[in-house]
Amino acid sequence: MTDRIYLYDTTLRDGAQTQGVDFSVGDKVAIARQLDSLGIDTIEGGWPGANPTDDAFFGDPPKLAHACLAAFGMTRRAGRSAENDPGLAAVVKSGAGAVCLVGKTWDYHVRAALGVEPDENQRMIGESIACAARTVPEALFDAEHFFDGFKADPAYALGCLEAALTAGARWIVLCDTNGGVLPHEVEAIVAKVVERIPGDRLGIHCHNDTGNAVANSLAAVRAGVRQVQGSVNGLGERCGNADLVTLIPTLALKLGYRTGVEGDRLQRLTKVSRVIDELLNRAPNRHAPYVGASAFAHKGGLHASAVAKDPRTYEHVDPTLVGNDRNIVVSDQSGRANVIARVRDLGQDVGPDDPALARLIEAIKEREFSGYTYDGAEASLELLARRAWGSVPEYFEVEGFRVSVERRHNALVRL
Ligand SMILES: [Zn+2]
* Shared domain check, 308 and 255: no
**Residue 228's beta-bridge partner residues?**
7, 204
What percent of the chain stands above pLDDT 90?
A: 81
Per the domain annotation, does 245 fall within a domain? Answer: yes
pLDDT digits (tens, 9 = 90+) for 103-131: 999 999 999 888 999 999 999 999 999 99
**How many angstroms separate the alpha carbon of residue 130 from the centre of ligand 1?**
23
**How many angstroms separate the alpha carbon of residue 176 from the centre of ligand 1?**
8
**How many angstroms separate the alpha carbon of residue 139 from the centre of ligand 1?**
17
Helix (H) or strand (E) holding 156: helix 154-166
**How many angstroms separate the alpha carbon of residue 238 from the centre of ligand 1?**
10
Give the 3-state secondary structure percentages of the chain, helix then strand then coil, rounded to 5.
Answer: 45, 15, 40
Per the domain annotation, does 101 fall within a domain? Answer: yes
**How many angstroms separate the alpha carbon of residue 265 from the centre of ligand 1?**
26
Spatial distance between the Cα atoms of 114 and 161, rounded to a whole number of angstroms? 18
Query: For residues 257 and 332, which has the higher predicted lDDT (pLDDT)?
Result: 257
Neighbouring C-beta atoms of residue 17, cutoff 10 Å:
15
* pLDDT at position 413 over 80: no
Distance of CA 70 to the CA centre of its chain: 18
Per the domain annotation, does 105 fall within a domain? Answer: yes
**How many angstroms separate the alpha carbon of residue 178 from the centre of ligand 1?**
9
* Shared domain check, 351 and 246: no
Per the domain annotation, does 121 fall within a domain? Answer: yes
* Shared domain check, 252 and 334: no
**How many angstroms separate the alpha carbon of residue 208 from the centre of ligand 1?**
10
Per the domain annotation, does 209 fall within a domain? Answer: yes
Band the pLDDT of 27: cuts 50, 70, 90. Answer: very high
Q: Find the Cα–Cα–Cα–Cα dihedral 54, 56, 58, 64, rounded to 10°.
A: -110
The whole-number average pLDDT for the span 274-298 is 95
**How many angstroms separate the alpha carbon of residue 145 from the centre of ligand 1?**
10
3-state secondary structure at position 360: helix
Please state, rounded to an integer, the average pLDDT across all residues of the chain: 94
* pLDDT at position 161 over 70: yes
**How many angstroms separate the alpha carbon of residue 45 from the centre of ligand 1?**
14
Task: Give me the DSSP letters along 208-244.
Answer: -TTS-HHHHHHHHHHHT--EEEEBGGG--STT-B-BH
Query: For residues 411 and 72, which has the higher predicted lDDT (pLDDT)?
Result: 72
* Shared domain check, 131 and 16: yes
Looking at residue 60, its pLDDT comes to 97
Per the domain annotation, does 399 fall within a domain? Answer: no
**Which range of residues forms the domain containing residue 378?**
297-388
How many domains does the chain fold into?
Answer: 2
* CATH classification of the domain holding 69: 3.20.20.70
Per the domain annotation, does 278 fall within a domain? Answer: no
**How many angstroms separate the alpha carbon of residue 207 from the centre of ligand 1?**
6
* Shared domain check, 240 and 313: no
Band the pLDDT of 194: cuts 50, 70, 90. Answer: very high
**How many angstroms separate the alpha carbon of residue 241 from the centre of ligand 1?**
7
* Shared domain check, 188 and 61: yes
The whole-number average pLDDT for the span 4-28 is 95
